[in-house]
Amino acid sequence: MRRIYLVCSLLVAMVAMCGCNSNCGVKGVKHVVMIGLDGLAGNTVEAADMPTVKMMMENGAWTLQARSILPSSSACNWASMYMGVGPEMHGYNTWGSRKPDFPSIELSENGMMPTIFTALRRHNAEWNLAAFYEWEVQGDLIDNKAVTYHQHIPMVEPRGEAITNAYIDYLKENKPEFSICIFDSPDAEGHGHGWGSEIYMSRLQGADAQIAAIIEATKQAGMYDDTIFMVVSDHGGIGTGHGSTSMSEMEAPLVFFGKGIKKGHKIQSSVVRYDTAPTIARILGAEAPAVWRGKVIEEIFE
Ligand SMILES: [Zn+2]
């Protein structure tokens, strides 16, 4: 009898633990701040003057070799990051696709492939979900019916400053549960002057200072201690272009830093662009739509 009681207690405890694993997210994490740098090549980071990103790597979990889907171009890769699948399923198949080039394999209640914003909105109707981006096409890839607020801020000189300021103001005022700030450079400098060129590297330095300002703003907003920060990119480049299959074009950084993330951990498992959405859903305790094919990068968690 006593043995049966013990077995039953154990089963109850196991069920409770399972329930929590799928619904609770990473303990104590209330916010995810995802910063995107379009065209940040994985092989440029080491030589770059990016003290903030390197601090995030030294105190976080990272890879410089997260792999693109093909082609190694912008819209199709951003779509994969948001939609948890490759282009053969989401249908956004070119650098500039603003709608699927062939039908998405599944449509959400908002009429498009379910994105990370769709999943988080299903999880919590009250959450503040926000998107700031310099490249207008982004607005068609995020499921803008699921977001609380989104704003296109055209890229002007000085590069990155307008979007950083707008995003910082929003963070301080609204403390969003999930938000993204996507810079359209360094891609612009790569196309104009070459990946790894002096001007490209100088933009990385500038973007790094803007990332530092964003992190500082979360401290002022009282969010810092329960936030996970991410630095992501869609593709790298070679010469003045990208879209093909060299590793310079296909490998880009993916960095996680903050509450509950391992420190100084180089990610060992293979990472593809579409692992991004399920990993964010896991952090915030939302259910990944069944159609997603990406994997949660479990090894980043403490
Ligand atoms: Zn791009």
Name the amino acid, one letter, at 44.
T
How far is ligand 1, taken at its centre, from the CA of residue 234, in Å? 5
How far is ligand 1, taken at its centre, from the CA of residue 19, in Å? 38
How far is ligand 1, taken at its centre, from the CA of residue 18, in Å? 39
How far is ligand 1, taken at its centre, from the CA of residue 27, in Å? 33
Q: Is the model's pLDDT at 295 over the cut of 50? A: yes
What pLDDT, on the 0 to 100 scale, is given for residue 2? 56
Q: pLDDT of 169-226, one tens digit each?
A: 999 999 999 999 999 999 999 999 999 999 999 999 999 999 999 999 999 999 999 9
DSSP 274: G
- Non-local (6+) Cβ contacts of 85 within 8 A are 105, 113, 274, 291, 292, 293, 294
What pLDDT, on the 0 to 100 scale, is given for residue 24? 82
What domains can you pick out in the chain, each with its CATH number? 29-300 (3.40.720.10)
- Non-local (6+) Cβ contacts of 95 within 8 A are 71, 73, 74, 75, 76, 243
How far is ligand 1, taken at its centre, from the CA of residue 77, in Å? 8
How far is ligand 1, taken at its centre, from the CA of residue 29, in Å? 29
How far is ligand 1, taken at its centre, from the CA of residue 92, in Å? 13
Q: pLDDT of 243-260, one tens digit each?
A: 999 999 999 999 999 999
- 41: helix, strand or coil: coil
How far is ligand 1, taken at its centre, from the CA of residue 119, in Å? 24
How far is ligand 1, taken at its centre, from the CA of residue 30, in Å? 29
How far is ligand 1, taken at its centre, from the CA of residue 46, in Å? 20
What pLDDT, on the 0 to 100 scale, is given for residue 96? 97
What pLDDT, on the 0 to 100 scale, is given for residue 3? 58
Q: pLDDT of 144-159, one tens digit each?
A: 999 999 999 999 999 9
How far is ligand 1, taken at its centre, from the CA of residue 4, in Å? 59
Confidence band for 47, pLDDT divided at 50, 70 and 90: very high
How far is ligand 1, taken at its centre, from the CA of residue 182, in Å? 10
What does pTM read for this prediction? 0.93
